[in-house]
Amino acid sequence: MNIASATPLLRVEKLNKSYAKGIGGRHRTRILRDVSFELHRGQTLGLVGESGSGKSTTAACVMGLTAADSGLIEFDGVDLTTLSKAGMRRMRRRIQMVFQDPNGSLDPRFTVADLVEEPLIVHGVTDSAERSRRVSEVLDRVGISVKQAQRYPFAFSGGQRQRIAIARALVLNPDLVVLDEPVSALDVSIQAQVLNLLSELQDELGLTYLFIVHDLAVARLMSHDIAVMNAGEIVEAGTSADVFDNTTHPYTRALLDAVPGARRRAAQNRTVAQQRTTAALATAGTADAMEGM
Partner 1 sequence: MQSNAPSLPVPRLTVDGGPDPERNDPVLSVRGLRTDFETAVGTVHAVRDVSFDLRKGQRLAIVGESGSGKSAMAMSLMGLVPPPGRVVGGSVRLNGKEIVGLDDAGISKVRGKDIGLVFQDPMAALDPLKTIGSQFVETIRVHQDVSVKAARKMAADLLGEVGVNDAARRLSDYPHQYSGGMRQRVLIAMAIANDPSVVVADEPTTALDVTTQAQVLDLLAKICDERGNALVMITHNLGIVEELCDSVNVMYAGRFVECTSTGALFASPGHPYSKALLDCVIDPATARRGALPAIPGSPPDLSVDEPGCPFAPRCPIGRDQERCAVERPQPRTLSNGAVVRCHFAYDPQGETA
Binding site for partner 1 (CB under 8 A): 50-51, 157-160, 187-193, 195-196, 199, 214-224, 240, 244, 254-265, 275-276, 278-293
Nearer to partner 1, 137 or 200 (CB): 200
Question: Do the beta carbons of residue 89 and residue 81 sit within 8 Å?
Answer: no
Whether 179 contacts 185, CB under 8 Å: no
Min dist CB 77 to partner 1, Å, is: 27
Q: Do residues 100 and 180 touch, judged by C-beta distance below 8 A?
A: yes
d(Cα 210, Cα 223) in Å, to the nearest integer? 9
Smallest distance, Å, CB 52 to partner 1?
8
Q: In what order do the strands lie in the sheet with 78-79?
A: 27-39, 10-21, 70-75, 78-79
Please report the sign of the dihedral spanned by the C-alpha atoms of residue 31, residue 239, residue 163, residue 93: positive
Nearest to 177 by CA among 162, 156, 192: 162
Nearer to partner 1 (CB atom), residue 119 or residue 232:
232
CB of 89 to partner 1, least distance (A): 34
Q: Tell how many helices (H) and how many strands (E) occur in the chain.
A: 11, 10
Q: Which is nearer to partner 1, 3 or 293 (CB)?
A: 293
Nearer to partner 1, 151 or 264 (CB): 264
Query: Which residue, among 81, 76, 11, has the nearest Cα to 39 in the 3D structure?
Result: 11
Instruction: State the helix-helix crossing angle for 250-258 and 262-291, rounded to 10 degrees.
Output: 10
Nearest distance, CB of residue 109 and partner 1, angstroms: 19
Smallest separation (angstroms) from partner 1 to the CB of 79:
31
Q: Which is nearer to partner 1, 22 or 261 (CB)?
A: 261
Shortest Å distance, C-beta 123 to partner 1: 32
When the beta carbons of 71 and 238 are compared against partner 1, the nearer one is 238
